[in-house]
Structure 1
């Protein structure tokens, strides 16, 4: 089975690890520390997915906090239960909310937020099964490859 994961870079990776556990429910599965006790590498799991969290280690590996809040990606989490409770947990942990939970034309209830260093997270839960034809009619978009 093929898998994909993402690596995110933070000015303070230890604080990010703590925040991701508190806000989203990630589990720390690996932590590598350097001789000074700094985070050299870490892995956090969420269901059968994983994200790597590390420090800014080159000029090309920066936190959004270091580059004016810019992002080149959004990390998406698909959950199976209670999106509104997940949203409340993230908000209570200090997530900067960019989109309140709302049901989308494709059947997912979704919210979007930023973590304390500016990474953008999109969190979704499928709340209704929608056919391609229903999604096209609702959105006005032509959809190819709908599964």
Structure 2
């Protein structure tokens, strides 16, 4: 019989996106949403690789868009979306509004017990923040 844990496992997936202005997007994600800049590699306006940590665990990776048809990781800027867990959706919503985020869905309670909101960053990426931590994982 499968055993059910009390908590979901810690995140080990790093969503990745590309940006037209990666340095400006990094600043926005830190200021508006509270990510922490942990690594940024590149010169001038070009960001070869950046990592931003999320306070509750996990994070994202991003870099500058490249106009290279042979790019094996050719992601279009502005097409990313993520759900991010927060303990304080109201405070984060206020922070995002103050930093100029475009709110696409206001604060609301969901039928599955989350309080959340959604916003777009300056590149057009969609971010949803809420209290839902996922379902417990069954382990065989």
TM-score surpassing 0.5? yes
Greater helix content:
1
User: Shift of the alpha carbon at 1:8?
Assistant: 1.1
The residue that corresponds to 2:83 in the other structure is 76
Could you tell me which residue of structure 1 aligns to residue 121 of structure 2?
Answer: 115
Give the match's secondary structure for 1:16.
Answer: helix
Give the Cα separation in 1 of the matches to 2:90 and 2:109: 11
**Aligned equivalent of 2:92:** 86
> Number of paired residues?
119
1:40 shift after superposition: 1.2
* Residue 83 of structure 1: how far off its partner (Å): 1.0
Match of 2:54 in 1: 46
Name the CA shift for 1:40/1:112 in 2 (closer, same or farther; >3 Å).
same
**Alignment pair present for 1:15 and 2:4:** no
* Alpha carbons 2:23, 2:45 under 8 Å: kept: no
Deviation, 1:37, is 5.7
CA distance in structure 2 between the partners assigned to 1:85 and 1:12 by the alignment: 27
Q: What per-residue deviation string (whole Å, max 9, x for no partner) do you get for residues 49-69 of structure 1?
A: 1101211124532212xxxxx
Aligned counterparts of 1:40 and 1:20: Cα–Cα separation in 2: 17
Structure 1: gaps spanning 5 or more residues: 65-70, 127-145
| Aligned counterparts, 1:45-64, within 5 A | 45-47=53-55, 48-57=57-66, 58=68, 60-64=74-78
Structure 1 length-normalised TM? 0.74
Output the TM-score relative to the length of structure 2.
0.77
Tell which has more relative contact order, 1 or 2 (C-alpha 8 A, sep 6+): 2
Evaluate the alpha carbon distance shift between residue 3 and residue 74 of structure 1 in structure 2; reply closer, same or farther with a 3 A threshold: same
In structure 2, how many angstroms separate the alpha carbons of the residues matched to 1:39 and 1:85?
A: 30
| Contact in 1 for aligned 2:47/2:63 (Cα 8 Å) | yes
Structure 1 stretches (4+) deviating beyond 3 angstroms?
Answer: none
Shift of 1:118: 0.1
CA contact (8 A) 2:11 2:58 kept: no
